[in-house]
Amino acid sequence: MVGGGFVKHLLRNHDLIAERTGVDLQIKKIAEKDFSRVPAELSSRTTDDWKSLVNDPEVQIVVELMGGKNLALEVAKAALTAKKPLVTANKALLAHAGEELFGLADKNQTGIYFEASVGGGIPIIKALREGLCANHISSIHGIINGTCNYILTRMANEGKAYEEIIVEAKKLGYAEADESLDVDGIDTAHKAAILASLAYGFWVKMEDIHIEGIRTISALDISYAQKLGYTIKLLAIIKPDENNAAQVRVHPTLIPSDSVLASVSGVYNAVAVEGDVVGKTLYYGRGAGADATASAVLCDVAEAAADLGVNKSSRFTSHDIYGKVAKIDQVETRYYVRLSALDQPGVLAQVATIFGKHGIGISSVYQPEEHSDETVPLLMVLDKAREAKFQDAYSEIKQLAVIKEPCQAIRLEDFS
């Protein structure tokens, strides 16, 4: 899809790109399994042998738009070893093998260009790498998966359950047949790893990222969150803690309904970045699709072409200000908690006592009138607490005789 968009728009906007950048981009060769997907005028330049493309001395820049990790890694390593700049939109490739590939690029004095790997057409990579280079990055909050945002938006607007919306999303093409990469937070985590690595100067490993998806989010919790003044989004949260360890986490999050990120709806993406010099900035747009992603790829190719012959770095610069990822149990945040409690006196006192024992304050309590005969929903918004303490208290509370399943806990981010 992205490859087709790239070819279409390069052919259509060739003259515009040449005028603006001073480089003449020509497609020398295309490696493709299915030749029917290639425009007829380029069929003579199409091959099913990717090695012949990479090894062609007349090919100066290699553009990898296959996706996946295994074959894409082979292609990427071959291109860099041949001292040819690599342009890629492959977030999974960079999240899992970025350190190896950027090391290989530096060794061979060539570059990797990867604007399209995060946020589609949103220029967030260039913003972090160049526009905000004079800033310590105080925080990054990103809605960077259109599928999840589409599902949560419809759940909020229509009151429908996740199970119903995901079926419709697949029919409309907003979700893959196997939706797990998106709804389980993996795709967002790939992008978070790249953003965190750029922001904090060391390669963040996927196994160090706390990841939760949206399968457990119910229409009930979305409704209750709205009544409390919050919206639920799948958020990538990246920020340093007091020990200069980088928090990198992906999970459903309550955010204030009057915040800018709460208004990002449907398949759109947005990334809010705060720097110590510039303050708060926001990057918004289409985060996926052939056209939006092709826009970023084309700009990367033009930049790579302009850089040819210049001794450029691989475009990732490490530094040692931060250097490690904070474990989730050390993260401090606020929480929304929904408990199913027996309808009898003293329940709130028992719950509050346990939270108090663990040093966790309660900001607000809300009890909806609608409930079954046996249990009533008890909603709480908690003060900031360390994750490990909260989980200990939450486990203890769920063991109370007056508390029944289902219960729910969702982290809350107020951007303060």
Catalytic residues: 191
What torsion do the CA atoms of 124, 129, 130, 132 make, to the nearest 10 degrees?
A: 80
Q: How far apart are the first and last CA of the chain?
A: 40
Task: Considering only CA atoms, give the Rg of the chain.
Answer: 24
Instruction: Determine the angle formed by the axes of helices 186-200 and 91-107, rounding to 10 degrees.
Output: 30
